[in-house]
Amino acid sequence: MKVKLDLRPRSMVEARKKKVNAARVLMVTFFLAFVLVGGVTLGMAFMKVKGMNAEIAMLSDQVALQQAQNLKMTNEIKRLAGVEAIYVSALNLLHEELPALEFLNSIETSLPLGVWISSVSITPGKAVIKGNSYVEHDVVEFAKGLLDAGVAATVDFPVTTRVTKDNESMVDFTLSCILRDLAALSAEDGKGRGVVR
């Protein structure tokens, strides 16, 4: 057995025990600082990843919501396109039938009491009216009323024939009319109103 004995004075032995190794303390401090900084960085990275995952989930929900709204909007646009097509076709029909409707209205307003209509034939730009009356003068008044209504550009002189129906003397008549282009007239009227301002 070996025993080590320190024969130096006690004060010197205690002073040597209290002496601190600076390099060792510095290494321990750096190691602890490294561990502390690494732990803080790791913790912050973990928190940031957790926050980013929550943000990704929120954005995924928003994308799903936007896709649902996009689908609704697409369906609404299709529905409105169908409604627009109906309105466009109705408007086109109205433009095509507007002269006929206006001409029928002018017939109604110009028709005297002793005249009645048996048929009206309307083709683009032209109309033929057939009817009956008790006297020729009423037929002429009817033709003049049609011309004054403004829908007919010209009204030919009535072709009349005196006939007897049910023991009554009547006049069969036929009127030929050239109709105005009402769409062109309304466009010119609209331009004229714009200039007058």
Task: Give the tens place of pLDDT for each residue, 110-146.
Answer: 888 889 899 999 888 889 999 999 888 899 999 999 8
pLDDT at 101: 80
| pLDDT above 80 for 13 | no
Q: Which amino acid is at 193?
A: R
Question: If you count DSSP H runs as helices and E runs as strands, how many of each does the chain have, helices first?
Answer: 4, 5
The whole-number average pLDDT for the span 14-32 is 80
98-196: CATH topology is Gyrase A; domain 2 (3.30.1360)
Query: In the chain, where does DSSP find H-type helix?
Result: 10-18, 22-110, 136-149, 182-196
- pLDDT digit string (tens) for 154-190? 888 888 888 888 888 899 999 999 988 766 555 555 5
pLDDT at 195 exceeding the cut of 50: no
What's the confidence (pLDDT) of residue 129?
A: 94
Angle at 4 between CA 13 and CA 6, to 5 degrees: 25
Q: Are strands 115-123 and 152-155 parallel, antiparallel or unpaired?
A: unpaired
| pLDDT score of 31 | 93
- Cα of first residue to Cα of last residue in the chain, in angstroms, is 129
Task: Give 81's DSSP letter.
Answer: H
Q: Are 111 and 142 in contact (CB under 8 A)?
A: yes
Q: What is the pLDDT of residue 193?
A: 47
Residue 109 CA to residue 121 CA, distance in Å, equals: 18
